[in-house]
Amino acid sequence: MAQEKSSGECRPRGRPQLRSDEETKQIVFDAARHAFAVDGYAATSTEELARRAGISTKTLYRLFPGKAALFEGMVADRLTRLLSDVNLKATDDLDIEKGLRAALLACADLALDPEVVALQRIILQESAEFPELAATFYENGIARTAAALAGWLRVQVGRKRIAVDDAEEAAGILIGMIASAPQRAAIFGSVPLPSRKQIERRVSICAALFLDGCRVTSK
């Protein structure tokens, strides 16, 4: 007679536990980021994306109606995660220069994040054929970052720390000062993104220029 196995040796049979749709989406987003960065948006097929993610094309189309929707979801997901780390809270115990430097540093961390710059490269390569990619990136990243900084500036105006007529315009100018030149150098000139120390120095200069200007006044 065969010896009975102890209860500790018995293992439940059946299908393995399935991933949730949200977990599967994250896997697809990771696969898509790498595929788009290497092969480009146009050259990457939905079949290739499904293969890289280890799922069927049927599952991919169930989660995303098409490649454009997948790209939009990928950009929105990544930028939402990065924006959640952007702390632009206005605290009473900070003077305006320290507070502005902290706010600008948070924006710079997002604008100069390697993955964000990589997304910009993809969009520039594909924007002529797929203009909706640029609109997606603008709405989910650039516009949301500028809106967050504009809100921070309005709080400072309300506390009479600064005088700004148009917070949205000022926010756009500030983000351009801290990020545009390093982004262009990285994308068009293959220059490495600035180090943390270099970003902090640039932020300090931008904050001082915004608050004090650089005009020499006659005595």
- Which domain range does residue 139 map to? 86-101+112-212
The burial of 107, by beta-carbon neighbours within 10 Å (0-12 exposed, 13-18 middle, 19 or more buried), is given as buried
CATH assignment at residue 59: 1.10.10.60
Could you give the CA distance from residue 120 to residue 118 in angstroms, rounded to a whole number? 5
How distant, in Å, are the alpha carbons of 5, 52, 146 from that of 11?
Answer: 11, 31, 55
91, 109 Cβ separation under 8 angstroms:
no
125 with 207, same domain?
yes
119 with 169, same domain?
yes
pLDDT, residue 1, reads 47
Residue 5 lies in a domain: no
pLDDT, residue 219, reads 62
154 with 93, same domain?
yes
Average pLDDT over residues 12-38: 81
92 with 190, same domain?
yes
Residue 14 lies in a domain: no
41, 133 Cβ separation under 8 angstroms:
yes
This prediction has a pTM of 0.75
pLDDT digits 0-9 by tens, 69-82: 998 888 888 877 77
Q: Which of 61-65, 96-100, 115-119, 138-142 has the highest mean pLDDT?
A: 61-65
Average pLDDT over residues 53-67: 94
pLDDT, residue 86, reads 59
67 with 161, same domain?
no
48 with 128, same domain?
no
Residue 3 lies in a domain: no
64 with 32, same domain?
yes
- Contact residues for 39 (Cβ-Cβ < 8 A; gap 6+): 48
122 with 202, same domain?
yes
How many independent structural domains does the chain possess? Answer: 2
User: Is the pLDDT confidence value at 149 over 80?
Assistant: yes
Residue 80 lies in a domain: no
